[in-house]
């Protein structure tokens, strides 16, 4: 049986009208219950190991983090395989990731795979370049997406592959 995963995210519900349908077709995790989001820390603790101590430490980081406004007005790419919305100001997302990584040093962002954290909202992953180019045109035609990050969400994978929401914390309040 494959190892189950968890992660901490900032949900971006304002992006659903712009990219929700695209994500359902082009981002495999969308159909499994993962909403439009920017990843704060992934991978995270094995869902079976999420205990009161882990939850309290996440709450402490959330309490120490202020809510912030965001705006996504452009797209970006990782190679030819991943299309995403890019935040106009990635710093608040990146700062939250840094704080979480400091609180959970055993769980570096993206498993330590990348030297730099690039905050992003995935639209499509490995769906084919031409399909992703069409999706990019659609996302751009919608126009900017703006909102306010007020909550940190813990998602955990279930044995059937779907994702659950075992915790949510208000930024600035824990």
pLDDT of residue 141: 96
Q: What's the pLDDT tens digit per position in 54-113?
A: 999 999 999 999 999 999 999 999 999 999 999 999 999 999 999 999 999 999 999 999
Q: Which two tokens stand for residue 57?
A: 């430490």
pLDDT of residue 2: 65
Domain 6-170: state its class. alpha beta
DSSP 66-97: --EEEEEEEEEEETTTEEEEEES--HHHHHHH
Q: What's the pLDDT tens digit per position in 98-152?
A: 999 999 999 999 999 998 999 999 999 998 999 999 999 999 999 999 999 999 9
Q: Which two tokens stand for residue 11?
A: 């949900």
- Paired with 10 in beta bridges are 38
């Amino acid at each position: 049986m494959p190892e189950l995963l968890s992660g901490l995210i900032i949900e971006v519900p304002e992006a659903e009208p712009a990219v929700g349908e695209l994500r359902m077709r082009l981002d495999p995790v969308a159909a499994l219950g993962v909403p439009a989001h920017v990843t704060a820390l992934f991978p995270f603790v094995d869902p079976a190991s999420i205990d009161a101590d882990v939850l309290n430490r996440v709450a402490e980081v959330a309490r120490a983090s202020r809510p912030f406004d965001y705006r996504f007005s452009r797209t970006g790419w990782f190679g030819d395989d991943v299309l995403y919305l890019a935040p106009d100001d990635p710093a608040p997302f990146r700062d939250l990731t840094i704080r979480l990584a400091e609180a959970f040093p055993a769980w570096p962002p993206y498993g330590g795979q990348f030297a730099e954290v690039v905050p992003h909202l995935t639209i499509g992953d490995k769906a084919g370049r031409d399909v992703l180019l069409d999706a990019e045109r659609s996302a751009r035609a919608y126009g900017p997406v703006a909102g306010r990050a007020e909550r940190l969400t813990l998602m955990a994978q279930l044995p059937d592959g779907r994702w659950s929401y075992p915790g949510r914390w208000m930024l600035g309040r824990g």
